[in-house]
């Protein structure tokens, strides 16, 4: 995959073709022989989606940013089959996270995961229990909030346990970007005081070869963010 992100245009200069030009330059580079095998993918805001549709991008699925502006930690962990534990970034668990994410996301982005683990090691958690680890959550501190994600889990119950464990360690505002298909998980977030902020649409370019996205989106309960995928 070739991830395209952070196409930003100041409000006073929107509608003048600047975003289209930026995308055209990026796509021209991706059409060169060395990059032609890569499938361009991006996460679009409602304002950007019409631009990308005109350039040949097609919708894959939507997700919504949920936020909790007054979060102060302290969500208790319930007892269940999943036991979220700190991820030792130097141990084999890091390699397991790489593999779980590759299967869920559809591409290897281990360098990105390693960076997220270093940014917030106390929020790097894996789901383990009566069987090998089957989920993980990472996070990163931002200027106004902590971004929770990616969050990959075998089912909603495991996702909730991971989210609870991470949220119990955060004492500031939280953002989490949840696929619209994960309604049960979104309902749980709403019950904890999260509110939807804005929508996004994941899109892929359909005109560069016959590549298709792989992965298992049903195990993705939170993406890393529109700038990271």
Which CATH number is 125's domain given? 3.40.630.30
Q: Are residues 89 and 139 in the same domain?
A: yes
Q: Are residues 48 and 141 in the same domain?
A: no
Asked whether residue 120 is assigned to any structural domain, the reply reads yes
Q: What is the mean pLDDT of residues 8-16?
A: 86
pTM passes above 0.75: yes
Query: Phi and psi for 197 in degrees, rounded to 5?
Result: -100, -55
Structural domain total, the chain: 2
Contact present, 138 and 110 (Cβ < 8 Å): no
Residue 149: the pLDDT is 96
Q: Are residues 83 and 155 in the same domain?
A: yes
Query: Phi and psi for 155 in degrees, rounded to 5?
Result: -160, 175
Q: Are residues 187 and 80 in the same domain?
A: yes
Q: What is the mean pLDDT of residues 65-90?
A: 63
12 conformational bin, left if phi > 0, alpha if psi -120 to 50, beta if neither: alpha
The residue segments making up the domain with residue 7 are: 2-62
Choose the final residue of a domain: 14, 45, 62.
62
Residue 77 in this model has a pLDDT that exceeds 60:
no
Asked whether residue 51 is assigned to any structural domain, the reply reads yes
Q: What is the CA radius of gyration of the chain?
A: 18
């Amino acid at each position: 995959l070739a991830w395209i992100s952070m196409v930003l245009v100041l409000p006073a200069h929107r509608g003048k073709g600047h975003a289209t030009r930026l995308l055209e330059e990026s796509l021209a580079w991706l059409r060169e022989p060395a990059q032609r095998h890569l499938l361009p993918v991006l996460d679009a805001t409602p304002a950007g989606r019409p631009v990308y549709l005109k350039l040949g991008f097609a919708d894959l699925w939507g997700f919504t940013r949920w936020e909790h502006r007054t979060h102060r930690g302290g969500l208790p962990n319930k007892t269940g089959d999943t036991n979220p534990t700190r991820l030792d970034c130097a141990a084999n668990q890091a390699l397991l996270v790489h593999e779980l994410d590759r299967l869920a996301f559809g591409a290897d982005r281990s360098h990105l995961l390693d960076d997220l683990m270093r940014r917030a090691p106390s929020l790097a958690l894996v789901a383990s229990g009566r069987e090998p680890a089957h989920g993980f959550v990472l996070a990163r501190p931002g200027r106004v909030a902590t971004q929770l994600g990616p969050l990959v889990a075998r089912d909603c119950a495991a996702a909730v346990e991971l989210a609870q464990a991470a949220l119990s360690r955060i004492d500031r505002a939280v953002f989490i970007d949840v696929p619209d298909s994960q309604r049960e998980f979104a309902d749980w977030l709403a019950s904890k005081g999260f509110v939807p902020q804005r929508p996004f649409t994941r899109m892929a370019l359909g005109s560069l070869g016959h590549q298709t996205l792989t992965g298992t989106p049903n195990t993705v309960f939170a993406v890393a963010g529109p700038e990271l995928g």
